[in-house]
Amino acid sequence: MDILITGLLLGGTYALIAMGLNLQYGIARIMNLANGEMLVAGGFAAFWFWTAGQISPLLTIFLVAPVAFVANWLIYRIMLRPLVKRAKSRGQLEVDSILATFGLAFVSVGLMLAVFGGDYFSYSHLARPVHILGDTYALNRLTAFLAAVVICGALYLWLNLSRPGVSIRAIAVSPESARLVGIDVPKLAAIAFALGGAVTATGGALISMFFTLDASTGVLFTLKALVIVIMGGVGDVRGTIVAALLLGIMETFVASAIDPGLTLAAAYLLFVLILLFRPQGLFGRRGT
Amino acid sequence: MQRRTTLKLAAALLTATMLGGSAYAQETIKLGAVAPKTGPLAGGAAVTHWPNIKLWVEEVNGRGGIDVGGTKMMVEVVEYDDQTNPAETIAAVTRLATQDEADFILAPYSTGLNLAAAPIFDRFGYPQITSTASTDRVAELSGQFNDLFFLLGQNSEIVGDAVEILSKLRDAGTIGNKVAMVNVADAFGIELASTAKPIFEAAGFELVYETSYPLGTPDLSPVMKAAKAADPDAFVAWSYPPDTFGLTEQAIIEQLDVGVFYTAVATAFPAFKGRFGAAAEGIMGIGGVNADSEAFQDYAKRHMDATGAAPDYWASGMMYASLQILEQAITGAGTLDRETVTQYIKDNAFETVMGTVEFDDNNNNPSYWTVGQWQGDAFRGVASTGREGVVDVKLKEGWE
């Protein structure tokens, strides 16, 4: 039970890390390698507000999210839109966007170094024990988990029930056909990309409560997010959530029951197994 | 095709101009600096390495430069980011030696990057005064590389002193016999853990919990829960910065009840105290300084004024000391000739912010801090191999 809850909490954290990338890659078709940097930037904002005025990250996210939304929308419009326009196929767009965002990642790291410095930004918020069913858990991780539930739930409902949500899902399935039925693909793709960035930055602000970040840790999160998105299936919110929870429980189980040294091995074993038996991911669609 | 030729020509011209630039008569001392600005060790280098270079260069140039045989020469630094990648460190040191023609090259950051670059320093005949490298192979390495110096100390002493502190507390009856020991699965953590294990066992301790975890483990709560379940009297972690913070936070959440709580790298960082506040009281870690010495307090204040951040309580002072040693050696030798300066470093004693430093026959600084403890607002040295100002160890009492 302890393992299950600890694993769920970690899975919630992973969902926060990966959800934004799923929106960006699955819908806007941009394999954003600068995703981790956006996360770190969100974390830094939370750190800065906390140290400057003891403002809780739970409030900071209401500022971080819109700012990140606008920033990502601009990145998409200025930097990525030309790539989308000239791309003849999905494959070409992927290669181009990987190269472009790889560069963006370096620029972001450089900018963050210049602005924040290279020091660790580490603070403690809600690092209190809470007792659930007789075991202790960190309040900040529980909070992040609840936030993940709210964010993922809202995204899921919005994508499935609202008209723009359904249009966005249509783009995820087939951008060409979506245009034929009168969906403004460029506009909605930009919104999906911006939304993904906002979710990522919000996640960063939340996980900075318990992760020690510095300007160049972004790439670690990009990798993790990539693994989760691919495991879950590109472009499916449910897939990302399930994959994140699965990974969290798996890692916690291995760390508790076998050996903490094997968590990485176990995570990648799971990844390899899923790729072998369901290459399109848990909820992915076969072959396009 | 034509355009490509033009481009090539332009590039060649540009290179020629850049190379030509270094041919003017020498008025400044050109120093090379290579260390991480990005990558996994960038956070540590941003605390310990780079600020000291900034501070020292400002100070040296502020007093008109370094005295070289009666002439004052200003200092100019060429900086490279090695991205925490040994191959990049080697490339940058080579570049500094051959293209930039640096007069001296400051030692890189961390044990691994320093050892990777040692053959290159040696080949080009540059003294390498390391301040962030800690290894047990000092004798072997200094035999191999004539110009390699070690300030920070040896792992076996660092580990040995930590175990000795635990032994004393146990023999006094203040803590029991059970130790939980964890380490980060990385060269540093593995080396220290494997050094520590036989020493703990020889001292008669019982290792009730022992594990390693990968670098960058996102959730250390399973580790801390298992350690707590083993009911230890002391908790020792050979950890790196992100997990030093992570383990301490989990210990607070689990309210781990131990008399000794020890984490390794980054425990001595001001950010550690900044994050954990009163809970940091009594936590032990690698390093320490004589926090009450005038030399250190003055240095800490200048560091704060020049860089806007406090130095850490371990390697920062040593990094600054390495720069002081270089300066004093250049002035003492009265020349920029690297061989003469290296010999001068070997033959003389130097006054630094960390006290007097005199290298032994293995180019090793024999007196350094091994264990420190957060007591009040400072991380004070509680064990050393011959430094003044050791304070008494306190027990860890709760997390409030």
Please check the confidence at residue B154 and state whether its pLDDT lies above 90. no
Q: pLDDT tens across B201-210, in order? A: 999 999 999 9
Work out the minimum CA distance from A7 to partner chain B, whole angstroms. 9
User: Rounded distance, CA A168 to CA A174, Å?
Assistant: 10
Q: CA of A186 to nearest chain B CA: how many angstroms apart?
A: 35
ipTM above 0.90, yes or no: no
pLDDT of residue A154: 93
Residue B213 contacts A where some CB pair is shorter than 8 Å: yes
A69 touches chain B (CB under 8 A): no
Q: What is the pLDDT of residue B21?
A: 42
At A286 the pLDDT is 61
Confidence of residue B286 (pLDDT cuts 50, 70, 90): very high
Q: Look at residue B18 in the predicted model and tell me its pLDDT.
A: 46
Q: What are phi and psi for residue B166, nearest 5 degrees?
A: -60, -40
Least Cα distance to B275 among B288, B284, B266 occurs for B266
A–B interface: beta-carbon pairs under 8 A: 123
| 3-state SS, one letter per residue, for chain B | CHHHHHHHHHHHHHHHHHHHHHHCCCCEEEEEEEECCCCCCHHHHHHHCHHHHHHHHHHHHHCCCEEECCEEEEEEEEEEECCCCHHHHHHHHHHHHHCCCCCEECCCCCHHHHHHHHHHHHHHCCCEEECCCCCCCHHHHHHHCCCEEECCCCHHHHHHHHHHHHHHHHHCCCCCCEEEEEEEECHHHHHHHHHHHHHHHHCCCEEEEEEEEECCCCCCHHHHHHHHHCCCCEEEEECCHHHHHHHHHHHHHHCCCCCEEEECCCCCCHHHHHHHHHHHCCCEEECCECCCCHHHHHHHHHHHHHHCCCCCCCHHHHHHHHHHHHHHHHHHHCCCCHHHHHHHHHHCEEEECCEEEECCCCCECCCCEEEEEEECCEEEEEEECCCCCCCCCCCCCCCC
Evaluate if pTM is beyond 0.90. no
Mean pLDDT of chain A: 88
Residue keyed to tokens 């790291």? A109
Tokens (6 digits) for A39: 């996360």
Region A48-76 average pLDDT: 91
Q: For A273-288, what is the mean pLDDT?
A: 78
* Domains, chain B, ordered by start: 27-154+293-369 (3.40.50.2300), 155-291+370-384 (3.40.50.2300)
pLDDT confidence tier of residue B43, bands split at 50, 70 and 90: confident
A210 touches chain B (CB under 8 A): yes
Mean pLDDT of all residues in chain B? 88
Average of per-residue pLDDT across B295-320: 92
Instruction: Tell me which of 1.10.8, 1.10.3470, 1.10.1740, 1.10.260 is the CATH number of domain A2-277.
Output: 1.10.3470
Q: Where are the domains of chain A?
A: 2-277
Q: What pLDDT sits at residue A21?
A: 92
All residues at 6 or more sequence positions from B293 whose CB lies less than 8 Å from its CB, including other chains? B355, B388, B389
Contact of A215 with chain B, judged by CB distance below 8 Å, is answered with: yes
Nearest CB to B249; choose among A14, A118, A124 = A124
